[in-house]
Structure 1
Amino acid sequence: MRSSFKKYRNNWIAIILLIALSVVLIQYSHHVKHIASIVDNRPAVQRFYEEPKWDGPLEMAHGDQVEKQIEAKYAASPLQRHRKLNSIKHLSSCSVPNHKPGAANILLNDANLEGLMSRVVFTRSDSLPTDVARFNPNILPYPAGSQYPYIGFVRESLEKKQEIDNSWRHSVWTCDLDWETVDTFGQQLLKCQTQPKRLEIDHWKSKKDSCFKWPWISSGLGQIDPRVFFSPLGEPLMIFGSNGPENCVAQFVVDLRRYVPDLSQRMKLSNVPMRFSNVTYLTRQPPLAEMEKNYFMLFDETNQIFIHHELAERSLALMDDPAQRNLAVYSQAPECVLKLRHSMPDQKRQKIRIHQATNSLRVTLCEYPCEPTLQNTVLVFIAHIKYENWLKVYYRRNLIVMNATAPFEILARSENLNYAGADERQIIYTVSMSWDHVHYRTHAQIPLHYQETNAEGELQTVPKPKVTTADNDLVNDFYHGWLDDTVMIGLGINDKESGVIHVKASKLLDCLEICR
């Protein structure tokens, strides 16, 4: 009798506990819905800066007037300026005989008689200490008549931990570069002609408890993954990663004239504005990854700045938009890009990721003196397909072609870019692209009475094409080029060394797969 009573008592106790738990869950559900309704209805708190700067803690403000101005510009300009590209069919043409779908696009180096990749040495001596590596080069051309042809910026990483803050240290170094010939086998390489100098950029700490995977980098990371490029105005800018104010590692931009005092004079940029004289924090809509990497800038036809955050789960926003609303909802990554991220046999050990790699450039899809328009001009950048097999890493590289107007619809992509002379078994990482107009452009002066061949094969006089910065907003000497212009591509090798190739834009945009 007692055992039976005990059995029933235990059952009743269990039933009562279940009822009590249900009541708690229902109350919690109502509470969550209430909180959600409050969040959905609360006024938006936006971030804005009176000037580009990084002074530590972020300033928060409602900024109603600023928000209204941004809303008007955001609504009236980016999405309404979308243009249909008339030259899209030209992208599918291929100059390679019997080119097979999926075959790599092999790029020869125009700066080397053998067509092979050239090495870049960022030291005045023959070698660096064994615990120091300088890799991932960024190279900009000096103006004609300069003492040296190029200036280089490179990441330096120390393989040993520093005593300061017990953290890893990374930094950016610069020097002037010129060609030298290797005595052993007569190859040319770019080498520092001036003593490399470190850019003295301040250090700061990440937000507290934001570095879960990499706790040792929460203080004093330094600068990683520098990307150096010219804006359409001629500003020499650098985007880099460092300790973040909201997450572990964030992205920042700065004008390099801030840290290379005579750069403006050497580059002849005295009339070029300096909008990023202070290190400027670049953010995006949350949630932020623990480590944000490789943002790059897009410049539309009016040279407004957009920040491209991510390619696969595409994210881009107008830089002036305090809310950083994602424009990619109107131009998501197409299947031609996403299919590169195919499944692997061993899902636990093998992974494939799509990574942004370089800055962007503006290209007109014809040779000079073809007149650049919104119907024949695109933006391009290089992305990486990263293969991870346990501790081994391997990259494939693809050129991505976009509309030149917001929301920058992806139009086409290349097959794997293979740099002649590079060992595909190594980590070959594309870092930067820049136009080398100074050393390779050979544009003839356009005659006053310009003639073209019509459909019947007859010469006819036509209006002189608008191909200068004075009469065409798409044209400039820094961010824009034609198919017959030369692109200089900086390469990182095995996270240890650097390389560079020069290639015609027409070769980069050859044998493309159309995405629509």
Structure 2
Amino acid sequence: MLVVSVKRPAYILIPFLTLAFGLWTLYHNGPRIIRDNGGFLSSVLSGQQGASSRTHNEVFSASTGDQRFFMIDFGDQQAINPNIIPHPVLENTWIVVAQLLPLPQSSRFAEIACNAVFDNGTLRCVNHAIALPIAPTFGDKCTGDVELLGLNKGPHDARVFYGPRIPYTIYGSNSAFACFGQWVQDFRTLTEWGYEAFGEDDFLQATELQRPPPWGVMEKNWFLFFDQNDQAYLHYDVAPKRVFAKVEANGGVGPDLAVLTASHDEKCMAKFMPTIGPELESIHQTTNSLLVTLCKRSDPSCVADDSNTFIFTIFQHKTYFNFHALYEPYLMLFEQTAPFKLYGISKKPFWISGRGQGIRRAQTEHSHLGQRDIEDEASVPREEMFYITSMSWRVKGQKYHGYIDDVLLVGFGIEDKQPAAIDVVVGDLLRGLGTC
């Protein structure tokens, strides 16, 4: 059993809280209109083949028979926003963590986890997924339009990932500095991990992370990155400008260091970053970071150094079409040495093979969820929402650093209903990279 068993305290259900989250999200993101650049949307809606090859970098699974993504099965529980890391001990086993969909009108939120193995093309829990023992946090900054969010209990939208030494989780919860902030904890303290040495700077307890001002009302999707000496930094924003700072063991941070490379970065972003339209489109970071050396592990002449090894992350261009969210994912690479200048940005987004068939596949592979939980096939839009949430190296024992011929696990949600992932050679994601 992977996850430490804990008894869930009984909470009073708070009416309308879940609705409040939805209303705030709509208020925050706004109804957006997607611009039909290059005719991509028109070709998708009309069912033309090859649309992704003209406007996207299509990537394929390294292991599935049809080269398409695979579903993640949490048994009789529904969860979204998946994270996958290799199990530290068991072979061909992964730890899967996701947000449990709460009961209607509930104020109680949880991240559930299980050990999972591949079974008939699906990554399936081998034990009942249980809640990570993450305690609720409290604050008094949820006022006005977000007042009801102060009643929240439990974590949101966790990211579980490896750093150079250990695994971490970062999650959203009530904050002392904003309505919702970001918290970090050594993931080993939340699981039955096995024996490993713990360091005093490893965030052994839940620690609220801070940021250079100004603060937003709802902070989310911050990620840790690590320099060549394994010093930790926090990256807060990728657009309209980068913001990042050195982080301390107590969650405190130094000044915004992005100003040191802003002139260089702005030129690169102006050249390669997706253009944002006037109708409240947005760009935001979405995954954790990893480190990649731009030569093959299989090549004897490949030697990792600062000139060929870069930190990378996935960010997304978010739009709306007929009040339906669309996310287009891009890769961003930056140097692993200060001042962490941008190295490159994808010239076009990547397209996960099988996108547009996710809910139909879920109906086939997860029939136990029932029609009330999955859209009817006839209503599934071809421009199906895939939201990237996490990435990790697939191989047991591989933590932060990889090479371009290594396989990456990319986790994502489908229409806020189904968790899924694809295992892809990381070099395929790097095709068409525009270098600064």
- TM-score scaled by structure 1? 0.64
Structure 2 distance, partners of 1:362, 1:330, is: 22
Distance 1:100 1:493 in 2: 18
Separation in structure 1 between the aligned mates of residue 423 and residue 398 of structure 2, nearest angstrom: 17
> Partner of 1:136 in structure 2?
81
Tell me, yes or no, if structure 1 residue 404 matches structure 2 residue 325: no
How do 1:285-364 residues align onto structure 2 when only pairs under 5 Å count?
285-312=212-239, 313-320=241-248, 322=252, 324-332=254-262, 333-337=265-269, 339-344=273-278, 347=279, 351-364=280-293
Q: CA, structure 1 residues 222+372, in 2 after alignment: closer, same or farther (shift >3 Å)?
A: same
Match of 1:443 in 2: none
Aligned to 2:34: none
In structure 2, what residue type is equivalent to 1:134?
A: A
SS at match of 1:329: helix
The root-mean-square deviation of aligned C-alpha atoms, in Å, is: 2.3
Q: Percent identity?
A: 28
Alignment correspondent of 2:392: 434
Using the TM superposition, give the Cα deviation of residue 477 of structure 1 relative to its aligned residue in structure 2, in angstroms: 3.4
> What secondary structure does 2:145 align onto?
coil
Distance 1:159 1:494, change over 3 A: farther
Deviation track 1:259-287 (CA, whole Å, cap 9, x = no partner) reads 21x2134xxxx145361110011111122
1:253 and 2:184 matched: yes
Q: How big is the shift at 1:513? A: 1.6
Q: Describe the superposition over 1:277-308 as per-residue Cα deviations: whole angstroms up to 9, x where unpaired.
A: 10011111122000001000110000000000
Shift of 1:390: 6.5
1:16-165 correspondence runs (5 A)? 103-123=55-75, 127-128=76-77, 133-143=78-88, 146=90, 149-158=93-102, 160-162=104-106
Contact 1:341 1:354 in 2 (8 A): no
Give structure 1 stretches of 5+ with no counterpart: 1-98, 163-167, 182-187, 439-475
Q: For 1:430 and 1:280, how far apart are their aligned partners in 2?
A: 25
Match of 1:481 among 402, 407, 425: 402
1:71 aligned residue: none
- Aligned residue number for residue 425 of structure 1: 383
Specify the code of the residue in structure 1 equivalent to 2:140. K
- Name the structure 2 match of 1:174: 113
Aligned partner of 2:217: which letter?
A: E
Count of residues in correspondence between the two structures: 350
Shift of 1:492: 1.1
SS at match of 1:218: helix
- 1:220 is the counterpart of 2:152: yes
Distance 1:409 1:101 in 2: 30
Q: 1:494 to 1:230 in 2, by over 3 A?
A: same
1:11 counterpart residue number: none
> Which amino acid in 2 is paired with 1:258?
T
Q: What is residue 238 of structure 1 aligned with on the other side?
A: 169
Tell me, what secondary structure is at the counterpart of 1:316? strand
Match of 1:37 in 2: none
Aligned to 1:386: 318
Contact 1:211/1:247 (8 A) holds in 2: no
Q: What SS class does the counterpart of residue 286 from structure 1 fall into?
A: coil
Mind listing any 5+ residue stretches in structure 2 that lack a counterpart?
1-50, 357-381
The residue aligned with 1:512 is: 433
Cα 1:406–1:211 shift into 2, 3 Å: farther
AA in 1 matched with 2:116: L
Given that 1:358 and 1:382 are in contact with CA atoms closer than 8 Å, whether structure 2 keeps it comes out as yes
Structure having the higher Rg: 1
What is the identity, as a one-letter code, of the residue corresponding to 1:408?
A: F
Distance 2:52 2:186 in 1: 44
TM-score, normalised with respect to structure 2: 0.76
Could you tell me whether the CA contact under 8 Å between 1:148 and 1:176 is conserved in 2? no
Which of residues 335, 346, 349 in structure 2 aligns to 1:416? 349
Mapped to 2, the partners of 1:216 and 1:335 lie a distance apart of 42
SS at match of 2:428: helix
